[in-house]
């Protein structure tokens, strides 16, 4: 992991971000699905922030909303001190920030050659003077992610999943971005290939000074690459802390459950560890419970948990938790 330079001004600052989708629930009836509900966090320059949680908790929506692939319902995205509001702001952001998508099979156009896929951001932003310079940049990007120059004229279907994801990473690097949203970039790959791609992300960060928001559901992968880890549940942030701190001393009941499910390589430690099994299923974001979103599955829930949403507060230096009963726990 790259060394973080402590700075007062973060590269990415997310303030009270909301992303609601209007869903048809009956004849002439619509209801807001609160995919992201009042989420705030910041990412320092050169840092990797891991974002974890169950499927459907809003992780991917956070990443896409930051890049304005979805227009935020409310809240503010500030990039390098500049609020992203107008079309000009969004165009500025798209040059400085980009995304590596989860599925390397559906995120690449099957009708385009590798050269055209990687060169598309260069074409859109007119980032070259002539065709020779364009081709030179494409071959340089391919080399950086471990692809051969003879691959340039081939199509995406001719490659393995790991190679396709490398193509996607090369495309993301085309405009020399400062910030990359990595949306579960290894979950669709074989385990043997995952380590190669993760190590490549680490090397690219060290070489290019990149900043990552790394979205995943595999705690071990996130811990390996992240400086800090944020945990989401049902559209809300429930815990945020240094990766070692959150792995060894989780405070929120949901985070404790997640950490208890991580496999232990040592048999003695595995036998001594206590698995915290949650009861019930995750509620639908369309019919989220009142108050604390986790209270329907929490063993510590009390009446106060149903009355109001817990504040996301700093309980220790750099350790934020949203829980009414955190002092008692």
Per residue, the 3-state secondary structure of 44-80, as one string, reads: CCCCEEEEECCCCCCHHHHHHHHCCCCCCCEEEEEEC
Alpha-carbon separation of residue 108 from 101, 111, 181 (angstroms): 10, 9, 17
Cross-sheet strand order for the sheet of 82-83: 29-43, 12-26, 74-79, 82-83
User: What is the C-alpha separation between 109 and 61, in angstroms, rounded?
Assistant: 22
Structure tokens at 121: 């951001």
87 and 151 in contact (C-beta within 8 Å)? no
Q: Quick one: pLDDT band at residue 271, thresholds 50, 70, 90?
A: low
Res 139 pLDDT > 80? yes
> Torsions phi, psi of 321, nearest 5?
-140, 145
Indicate the Cα dihedral angle 236, 242, 245, 250, nearest 10°: 0
Q: Which residue, among 220, 183, 197, has the nearest Cα to 65 in the 3D structure?
A: 183
Using one digit for the tens of pLDDT, what is the confidence trace for 147-157?
999 999 999 99
Residue 48: what pLDDT?
97
Q: Which of 2-6, 8-12, 138-142, 284-288 has the lowest mean pLDDT?
A: 2-6
Pairing assessment for the beta strands 48-52 and 228-233 based on DSSP bridges: parallel
- Using DSSP's 3-state secondary structure scheme, residue 223 falls into helix
Res 39 pLDDT > 90? yes
What is the torsional sign of CA 125, 129, 134, 137? negative
For the chain, count helices (H), then strands (E).
Answer: 11, 12
Structure tokens at 310: 């817990």
pTM attached to this predicted model: 0.91
Residues contacting residue 317 through CB under 8 Å, at least 6 positions apart = none
Q: Quick one: pLDDT band at residue 212, thresholds 50, 70, 90?
A: very high
**For a pLDDT cut of 90, what percent of the chain falls above it?**
71
Alpha-carbon separation of residue 57 from 71, 230, 321 (angstroms): 18, 12, 17
Q: Quick one: pLDDT band at residue 8, thresholds 50, 70, 90?
A: low
Q: For the chain, give every domain's residue range.
A: 12-110+174-322
Match 């880890």 to its residue by tokens. 229
Q: Quick one: pLDDT band at residue 1, thresholds 50, 70, 90?
A: very low
Bridge partners, residue 19, by sequence: 36
User: What is the C-alpha separation between 302 and 325, in angstroms, rounded?
Assistant: 9
Q: What angle do CA 44, 53, 7 make, to 5 degrees?
A: 5
Residue 269: what pLDDT?
61
In the predicted model, what is the mean pLDDT of residues 242-249?
93
Q: How far is CA 245 from the centre of its chain?
A: 19
Q: DSSP secondary structure string, 153-199?
A: GSBGGGS-HHHHHHHHHHHHHTT--SEEEEESTTTTS-HHHHHHHHH
- CATH number for the segment(s) 12-110+174-322: 3.40.50.300
23 and 33 in contact (C-beta within 8 Å)? yes
Using one digit for the tens of pLDDT, what is the confidence trace for 299-308?
888 888 999 9
Res 4 pLDDT > 70? no
User: What is the C-alpha separation between 137 and 146, in angstroms, rounded?
Assistant: 14
User: What is the C-alpha separation between 19 and 65, in angstroms, rounded?
Assistant: 7
> Torsions phi, psi of 216, nearest 5?
-165, 165
Structure tokens at 14: 């997310």
């Amino acid at each position: 992991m790259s060394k973080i330079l402590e700075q007062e001004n973060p590269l990415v600052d997310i303030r009270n971000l909301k992303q609601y989708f209007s869903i048809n629930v009956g004849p002439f009836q619509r209801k807001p699905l609160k995919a992201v509900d009042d989420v705030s966090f910041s990412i320092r320059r050169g840092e990797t922030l891991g974002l974890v949680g169950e499927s459907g908790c809003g992780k991917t929506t956070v990443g896409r909303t930051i890049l304005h692939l979805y227009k935020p319902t409310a809240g503010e995205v500030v990039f390098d001190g500049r609020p992203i509001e107008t079309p000009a702001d969004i165009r500025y952001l798209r040059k400085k920030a980009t995304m590596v998508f989860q599925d390397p099979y559906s995120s690449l156009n099957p009708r385009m050659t590798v050269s055209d896929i990687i060169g598309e951001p260069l074409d859109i932003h007119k980032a070259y003077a002539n065709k020779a310079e364009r081709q030179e940049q494409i071959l340089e990007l391919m080399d950086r992610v471990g692809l051969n120059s003879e691959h340039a004229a081939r199509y995406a279907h001719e490659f393995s999943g790991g190679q396709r994801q490398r193509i996607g990473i090369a495309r993301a690097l085309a405009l020399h971005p400062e910030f990359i949203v990595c949306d579960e970039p290894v979950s669709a790959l074989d385990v043997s290939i995952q380590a190669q791609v993760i190590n490549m992300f680490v090397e690219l960060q060290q070489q290019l000074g990149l900043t990552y928001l790394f979205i995943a559901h595999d705690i071990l992968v996130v811990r390996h690459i992240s400086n800090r880890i944020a945990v989401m549940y049902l559209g809300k942030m429930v815990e945020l802390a240094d990766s070692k701190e959150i792995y060894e001393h989780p405070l929120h009941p949901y985070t404790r459950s997640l950490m208890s499910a991580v496999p232990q390589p040592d048999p003695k430690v595995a036998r001594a560890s206590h698995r915290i099994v949650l009861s019930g299923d995750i509620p639908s974001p369309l019919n989220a419970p009142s108050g604390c979103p986790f209270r329907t599955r929490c063993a510590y829930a009390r009446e106060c948990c149903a009355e109001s949403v817990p504040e996301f507060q700093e309980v220790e230096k750099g350790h934020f938790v949203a829980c009414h009963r955190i002092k008692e726990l």
